[in-house]
Structure 1
Amino acid sequence: MERHIVHMDLDSFFVSCERLNNSKLEGIPVIIGGGDRGVVASCSYEARYYGVRSAMPVKMALRLCPEAKVIKGDMEMYSKLSHTVTEIIDEKAPVVEKASIDEHYLDISGLDRFFGAYKWTEELGEYITKHTGLPISFALSVNKTVAKIATGEAKPTGKKEVKSEMVRPFLNPLSIKKIPMLGDATFQLLSRIGVRQIYTLADMPVEVLQQMIGKNGVALWKKANGIDTSPVEPYTERKSISTERTFAADTIDILKLKGIINGMVEKLCFQLRSEQWLTSTVVVKIRYANFDTETKQCRVSYTSADHTLSKCVMELFDKLYNRRMRIRLVGIRFTDLVHGNLQINLFEDTQEMVDLYQAMDRIKNRFGYEKVMRAAGFKALERENL
């Protein structure tokens, strides 16, 4: 049985959400981001016409498009609307995978025996727009890779079907930049040897690609040839992530405790960014030597940034630890999670800060988590080893 895989993408999702609340934003350039030193989280198609792009410094975006309206952004509103769309799709589609806050994959294989698969998807898209007011684009094809690329070609508010016999003719003339997960470094490497369109990449010997870029070369070659057997994985929302530390000996060493807590926060934040989560609720727990356990929590703007969450955790710890008694355990939990990533959601942070986090995460992914840490975390490790 031939697979029927749908990729649905809410168009300029953050901007579309803001336009639901303010009709005056319709038809004008809109930038979602934070302050003159912040980065662009999202932008309208009117702003993109002037060269504005996500992750660009807001200051640069305003030089390109001075008349753009800049809005700080409201992740809580975006999360609620995303959840509404997910509920609609879940109710109607047999298998759904939520890929991000504004993207879904659907496996509707077999539905073509009862309905036209394309017609069914078209009606679902219309239903979503009617009940939420949000514009959506979609593509139907034989696998996730081709469906996602086709959605990109269909935007904005477009729809496209790429049948099995049309996969290679559809992919061949496109830029290799269109292939999901092909980063700038790989693009530059391939461009230097003249590989800029998908058909050139697809016709390369797979062994050569493997030698050039390692194990990812085979996966890249398959995508260029329209081959993708990855399943649509049913979506389940993660509620929280947490960590606890029970000490071998109860302690009252505040410097040691705060160093360990900083290290715990840093590790959880790295996990948030790796799994593309943002948190809005921070919970700190301590257990005294007599087993009394106390917790405190606070709300923050959606983030996955160490410096923001560490400050909040430390403030909670200072409020919690009000007895001169040894501590047996400390714990941290981040909850009320939504999908998102550091690059597009640090509304208040500078481009330099975003670049720093991305560089640190690359080092951690390549060489191991403990190869780069904040000084407080290193000091805590040293104190433990004394």
Structure 2
Amino acid sequence: MNSFYASVEQAHDPSLKGKAIAIAGNPKERRGILVTCSYEARARGVYTTMSVWEAKRKCPELILLPPNFERYRIASKAIFEILRSYTHLVEPVSIDEGYMDVTEVDMNNDAVSFARSIQDRIIRELDLPCSIGIAPNKFLAKTASNLKKPMGITVLRKRQVNEILWPLPVIDMHGIGESTAKKLETIGIISIGDLANAIPNLLKEKLGKNGVRLQNRANGIDNREVDPESIYDTKSVGNSTTLPFDETNIEDLEKVFIRLSKKVAARLDAKNLAGRSITIHIRDANWKNKTRSKTVTNRLYKEQEINQLALDLFQASWNGDPVRLLGVTVNNVYDKGESVEQLSIFNFEEHAKEEPILKLVEQLQGKFGENSIKRGMKLKKKPSLESKTSFSKDFLDDHDHHK
């Protein structure tokens, strides 16, 4: 989708059409960062992630709106329903983007007209613009969809990779961020073509398995299938905040960690998840980013444990520089109902007390079947506000046909 949140607002209120508008997490504060902006705003030099004050300076007539999650969610669901009317092989990637495998769809050998009919239908029914990439695999389709916006339809064939992609800088390639681009630059890889033709061992040495994967992509190779189920595998739950001003007071920073840990724990609880590791994210006043991680033995979901681990990591790595942003993420998450706690010298006694219960559960399962009774309760996800806080993936619970 093109400028999705801004486009939804313009569809909802046609008086906003043709105007420079932006959605900001917190329009009234400095920490208000633009989540997205209309193409009219982009033409004035405004871009996503720009701060509110800077955007207003560049474009004084910019109309700032707070995000309306429910509105975007309804629009997203309607878009995916349209896509699924053509094929069940639709894989949502986020609230405003997805893949379709149309191999088996009868389109009279005219993929471009087929794509145009989808694009026209989304405009006609929902008044929302989108760009479509047509290609033999996911990576090329995603790349093609970015080549022409808004309302673009682009075909990218494997044989065109060397003429269309190779001259571009590596940072333009889907899957490569700033840190990877900088690592590649240290070994003389500047363009996508350099990456495609690099010595494989050199890439493996610098980037590990990811280096091999990225080189394949740069050569137009991607064997991933379109998987309608993949979106429901949450991998991490996190929260971050930009501070109202650059902070050096440790007590105030500790209060921020308490707030972040509380939010992360609430979201884990709302989704009935626990994690295996934690990461903190620190951005200083000079916009330098630092992350620190730790893997834990037992399942991580309690607020106090998350907070303590986050603080320990922070105190071990903070050099006293003013802090602009803090973030806490619990990674490698899984359903609590399916987890088994590791026994340790500290908790074996409480497990020993439960041994008779475990034996009883085993006997009942033997008699009535494995799913007749479970140790612990596998709770249904709570449809609370806490489980709906992400701009992107949390909304995709709406598409889960298992519910």
Which runs of structure 2 are paired with 1:1-386 in the superposition (5 Å)? 10-33=1-24, 34-35=26-27, 36=29, 37-111=31-105, 114-235=108-229, 238=232, 271-273=236-238, 307=259, 310=262, 332-334=269-271, 362-364=291-293, 367-368=294-295, 376-377=304-305
Q: Report sequence identity in percent.
A: 28
**Contact persistence 2:269–2:301 (CA under 8 A):** no
**Contact persistence 1:96–1:235 (CA under 8 A):** no
Tell me how far apart the structure 1 counterparts of residues 231 and 190 of structure 2 sit (CA, whole Å). 38
- Cα deviation, residue 115, structure 1: 4.1
> Structure 2 vs 1, CA of residues 312 and 155 (structure 1 numbering), >3 Å: closer, same or farther?
closer
Residue aligning to 1:280 = none
- Cα deviation, residue 93, structure 1: 2.2
**Contact persistence 1:209–1:218 (CA under 8 A):** yes
Counterpart of 2:155, as a letter, is E
- Cα deviation, residue 196, structure 1: 2.4
Deviations 1:344-369 (Å, cap 9, x if unpaired)? xxxxxxx989x99x95xx533xx325
Of 197-206 and 100-109, deviating more is 197-206
- Cα deviation, residue 108, structure 1: 0.9
> Structure 2 vs 1, CA of residues 188 and 52 (structure 1 numbering), >3 Å: closer, same or farther?
farther
**Contact persistence 1:29–1:68 (CA under 8 A):** yes
Deviations 1:57-101 (Å, cap 9, x if unpaired)? 222222332321111110111011000000110111241100110
Counterpart of 2:237, as a letter, is L
Residue aligning to 1:244 = none
Where do 5+ consecutive residues of structure 2 fail to align? 240-256, 273-282, 310-344, 348-403
Count of aligned positions: 280
Counterpart of 2:69, as a letter, is M
- Cα deviation, residue 116, structure 1: 1.9
Report the secondary structure of 2:64's partner residue.
Answer: strand
Report the secondary structure of 2:22's partner residue.
Answer: strand
Residue aligning to 1:318 = none
- Structure with greater contact order relative to length (CA < 8 Å, sep ≥ 6): 1
Report the secondary structure of 2:270's partner residue.
Answer: strand
Counterpart of 1:121, as a letter, is A
- Cα deviation, residue 272, structure 1: 3.0
Tell me how far apart the structure 2 counterparts of residues 13 and 234 of structure 1 sit (CA, whole Å). 21
Deviations 1:105-142 (Å, cap 9, x if unpaired)? 01111436744223222211211211111001101011
> Structure 2 vs 1, CA of residues 97 and 378 (structure 1 numbering), >3 Å: closer, same or farther?
closer
Tell me how far apart the structure 1 counterparts of residues 306 and 231 of structure 2 sit (CA, whole Å). 34
Tell me how far apart the structure 2 counterparts of residues 78 and 134 of structure 1 sit (CA, whole Å). 11
- Cα deviation, residue 56, structure 1: 2.6
Of 50-59 and 216-225, deviating more is 50-59
> Structure 2 vs 1, CA of residues 236 and 204 (structure 1 numbering), >3 Å: closer, same or farther?
closer
Deviations 1:200-254 (Å, cap 9, x if unpaired)? 211111111111222211011111111101111014775x99xxxxxxxxxxxxx
- Cα deviation, residue 377, structure 1: 2.1
Of 12-21 and 198-207, deviating more is 198-207
Normalising by the residue count of structure 2, what TM-score does the alignment of the two structures yield?
0.60
Tell me how far apart the structure 1 counterparts of residues 87 and 174 of structure 2 sit (CA, whole Å). 24
Of 28-37 and 49-58, deviating more is 49-58
- Cα deviation, residue 46, structure 1: 2.3
Tell me how far apart the structure 2 counterparts of residues 379 and 103 of structure 1 sit (CA, whole Å). 34
Where do 5+ consecutive residues of structure 1 fail to align? 1-9, 242-269, 275-304, 315-330, 336-350
